[in-house]
């Protein structure tokens, strides 16, 4: 018995229509784009959590540049901070470290003594305690007039807003990709139905239920979407690894001074990405089934 | 088995291709359907094998009034009908075996069970050595016999053949007609559309004669001509 006999159920010659050729390529592109968009969403979530974690529980106190050797405002501020409830440490940032902070903008050749830089104090808070920032500000103003206290909230809020907008954009792109996938599979299925009209009518006249014909289209759509999806996933993983390497290298060039987050996906992030071809396959399968059933309903 | 009452049919908004057809075919009967080209033979057969719905009138098949049946309920009825198409309608990329196996697979028969049925049927039509052959590699007569094997493999109660001898020589036509007679003896109801008056005359079966979409009383005279 030949090969054809041993492969029952393939009454419809799918290999002979255009849909069979362009669907894998289309799925490849869509899974690739969806992979990048999804990775962006997951990494932004991680970055946001990391920023939040690193800035929560810290404060920065800024004092005007020293007016002279007798200026005791830094000592007074430190003393006031160290006895304040909820404060675990208050460490002055020396002028060399401060100069390093502004070096990306002003250049490294400047000596700390060339400029009147404000003095900074890094304050650490007890994560379990909820310090009264208003009382702390009042205490600081009394001890060192002109000192300001920055809890980073404004910066963090702006960053969070930006990250959320980027996330929503990425999710919107994902939804669009899904929509395009549905339209494309529906179009390819309709093309297949038109091309194989004679065989489908024959099956119908033999008493095939609509589900029997739909199953053949479903299997074909699933197979093609999985093939294309696997290719798209491979491309997306390669692109993300390259991107992660590139952003990591930028972040570690000399000092970690870049504002761009590094792309760093965790184990479960990769697992979510690995599911994308399966999701693409299931979407293709469901779309093909619904399209076939809707079309066959027109037959008597 | 088959009952038509004042049936009319048109394609879309076109003119009626069948008008006021009333007929009754009993179980186990064997009828020829005759008439000139364009008389409506294929349209009438399409109504019988449920490829079309009538524009008016009532059709009853296997005792079921079709107008009362849902679309889903028609599928089991179709499985009781075997069709030999004028152009065979074999699927070119499938082997003769798979073409014949198709109605059984559609009906959900297990592969192990259908193999013997299909082989037996291809042996019956003299093509036991052509199981793996694809239709384009077969002669017209061989394709016709594969089409007949496919039409009868599911043991239909009603067999409809549209010009089954139109593409074969006289010897093959005679052989095919003997196959149909054998089936009829086994209890299958047959309707065979043909424009071959001599064939209808030779087998001496009742004739339904169509002229311009209407059944006429000229059947006997046409068959005798």
> Which band of pLDDT confidence, cut at 50, 70 and 90, is reported for residue A19?
low
pLDDT at position B171, please? 80
Name the minimum distance, in Å, from the CA of A231 to any CA of chain B: 29
pLDDT at position B115, please? 92
Cβ–Cβ contact B51 with A under 8 A: yes
Report the distance separating Cα A224 and Cα B40, nearest Å.
Answer: 43
For residue A255, pLDDT beyond 80: no
> Which band of pLDDT confidence, cut at 50, 70 and 90, is reported for residue A4?
very low
**Using one digit for the tens of pLDDT, what is the confidence trace for A104-127?**
777 767 666 667 778 888 888 887
pLDDT at position A260, please? 55
**Using one digit for the tens of pLDDT, what is the confidence trace for B97-110?**
999 999 999 998 99
Q: What number is the average pLDDT over the span B86-96?
A: 92
CATH of domain B1-80+195-225: 3.40.50.300
**Using one digit for the tens of pLDDT, what is the confidence trace for B108-144?**
899 988 999 999 999 988 899 999 999 999 988 899 8
Burial class (CB in 10 A: 0-12, 13-18, 19+), A130: exposed
For residue A232, pLDDT beyond 50: yes
Report the distance separating Cα B136 and Cα B130, nearest Å.
Answer: 12
Burial class (CB in 10 A: 0-12, 13-18, 19+), A209: middle
**Using one digit for the tens of pLDDT, what is the confidence trace for A34-50?**
999 999 888 887 777 77
Measured in residues, chain B has a length of 225
Q: What is the dihedral of CA B35, B38, B44, B49, to 10 degrees?
A: 110
Least confident span in A3-7, A130-134, A162-166: A3-7
pLDDT at position A70, please? 62
For residue A10, pLDDT beyond 70: no
Partner-chain residue, chosen from B50, B81, B95, that has the shortest CB–CB distance to A5: B95
**Contact call for B89 and A4, based on CB within 8 A:** no
Tell me if B191 sits within 8 A of B25, measured CB to CB.
yes
pLDDT at position A112, please? 61
Structural domain boundaries of chain B? 1-80+195-225
pLDDT at position A102, please? 73
Cβ–Cβ contact B83 with A under 8 A: yes
Overall pTM > 0.90: no
> Which band of pLDDT confidence, cut at 50, 70 and 90, is reported for residue A2?
very low
Instruction: Determine the residue of chain B that is closest to A6 in CA distance.
Output: B98
Average pLDDT for chain B: 89
Q: What is the dihedral of CA B39, B41, B44, B48, to 10 degrees?
A: 180
Average pLDDT for chain A: 82
pLDDT at position A13, please? 80
Phi/psi of residue A236, nearest 5 degrees: -65, -45
**Using one digit for the tens of pLDDT, what is the confidence trace for A169-206?**
988 999 999 999 999 999 989 989 998 999 999 999 99
> Which band of pLDDT confidence, cut at 50, 70 and 90, is reported for residue B223?
very low
Name the minimum distance, in Å, from the CA of B96 to any CA of chain A: 9
Cβ–Cβ contact A294 with B under 8 A: no
Interface of A with B in 185-224 (CB under 8 A): 198-199, 201-209, 212
DSSP states along A87-120: EEEEEEEPHHHHHHHHHHHH-TT--TTTS-PPEE
Determine what percent of chain B is predicted with pLDDT higher than 90: 64
**Using one digit for the tens of pLDDT, what is the confidence trace for B12-38?**
889 999 999 999 999 999 999 988 888
For residue B188, pLDDT beyond 60: yes
pLDDT at position B161, please? 93
For residue A31, pLDDT beyond 90: yes
> Which band of pLDDT confidence, cut at 50, 70 and 90, is reported for residue B185?
very high
Q: What number is the average pLDDT over the span A75-93?
A: 86
Instruction: Determine the residue of chain A that is closest to B114 in CA distance.
Output: A8
pLDDT at position B118, please? 95
Q: A137-140 long-range CB contacts below 8 Å, 24 or more apart? A: A139/A80, A139/A84, A140/A61, A140/A77, A140/A80, A140/A81
Looking at this predicted complex, what is its ipTM? 0.90
Q: How many CB atoms lie within 10 A of CB B26?
A: 10
Cβ–Cβ contact B49 with A under 8 A: yes
Q: How far apart are the first and last CA of chain A?
A: 36
Q: Ranked by mean pLDDT, which of A69-83, A241-255, B37-51 comes out on top?
A: B37-51
């Amino acid at each position: 018995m030949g090969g054809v006999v041993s492969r029952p159920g393939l009454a419809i010659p799918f290999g002979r229509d255009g849909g069979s050729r362009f669907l894998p390529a289309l799925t490849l592109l869509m899974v690739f784009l969806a992979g990048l968009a999804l990775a962006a969403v997951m990494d932004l979530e991680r970055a946001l959590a990391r920023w939040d974690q690193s800035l929560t529980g810290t404060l920065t106190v800024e004092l005007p540049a020293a007016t002279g050797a007798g200026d005791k405002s830094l000592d007074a501020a430190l003393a006031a901070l160290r006895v304040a409830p909820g404060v675990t440490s208050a460490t002055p940032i020396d002028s060399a470290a401060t100069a390093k902070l502004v070096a990306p903008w002003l250049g490294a050749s400047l000596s700390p003594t060339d400029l009147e830089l404000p003095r900074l104090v890094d304050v650490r808070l007890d994560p379990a305690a909820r310090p009264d920032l208003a009382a702390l500000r009042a205490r600081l103003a009394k001890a060192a007039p002109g000192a300001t206290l920055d809890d980073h909230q404004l910066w963090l809020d702006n960053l969070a807003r930006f990250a959320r907008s980027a996330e929503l954009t990425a999710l919107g792109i994902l939804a669009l990709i899904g929509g395009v996938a549905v339209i494309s599979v529906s179009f390819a299925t309709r093309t297949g139905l038109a091309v194989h009209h004679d065989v489908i009518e024959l099956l119908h006249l033999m008493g095939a239920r609509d589900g029997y014909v739909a199953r053949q289209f479903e299997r074909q759509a699933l197979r093609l979407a999985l093939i294309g999806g696997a290719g798209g996933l491979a491309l997306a993983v390669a692109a993300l690894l390259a991107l992660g390497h590139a952003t990591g290298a930028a972040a570690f060039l000399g000092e970690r001074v870049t504002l761009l987050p590094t792309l760093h996906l965790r184990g479960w992030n990769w697992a979510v990405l690995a599911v994308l071809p399966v999701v693409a396959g299931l979407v293709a399968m469901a779309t093909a089934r619904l399209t076939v059933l809707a079309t066959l309903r027109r037959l008597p | 088995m088959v009952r038509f009452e004042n049936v009319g049919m048109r394609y879309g908004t076109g003119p009626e291709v069948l008008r006021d057809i009333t007929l009754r075919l009993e179980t186990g009967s064997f009828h020829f359907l005759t008439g000139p080209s364009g008389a409506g033979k294929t349209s009438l057969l399409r109504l019988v094998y449920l490829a079309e719905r009538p524009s008016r009138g009532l059709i009853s098949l296997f005792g079921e009034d079709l107008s009362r049946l849902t679309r889903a309920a028609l599928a089991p009825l179709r499985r009781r009908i075997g069709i030999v198409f004028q152009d065979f309608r074999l699927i070119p990329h499938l082997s003769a075996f798979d073409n014949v196996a198709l109605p059984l697979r559609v009906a959900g028969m297990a592969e192990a069970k259908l193999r013997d049925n299909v082989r037996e049927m291809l042996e019956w039509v003299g093509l036991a050595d052509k199981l793996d052959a694809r239709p384009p590699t077969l002669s017209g007569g061989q394709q016709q016999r594969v089409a007949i094997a496919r039409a009868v493999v599911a043991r239909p109660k009603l067999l409809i053949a549209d010009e089954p001898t139109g593409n074969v020589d006289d010897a093959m036509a005679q052989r095919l007609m003997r196959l149909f007679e054998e089936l009829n003896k086994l209890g299958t109801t047959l309707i065979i559309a043909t424009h071959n008056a001599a064939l209808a005359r030779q087998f001496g079966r009742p004739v339904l004669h169509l002229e311009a979409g209407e059944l006429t009383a000229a059947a006997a005279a046409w068959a005798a001509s």
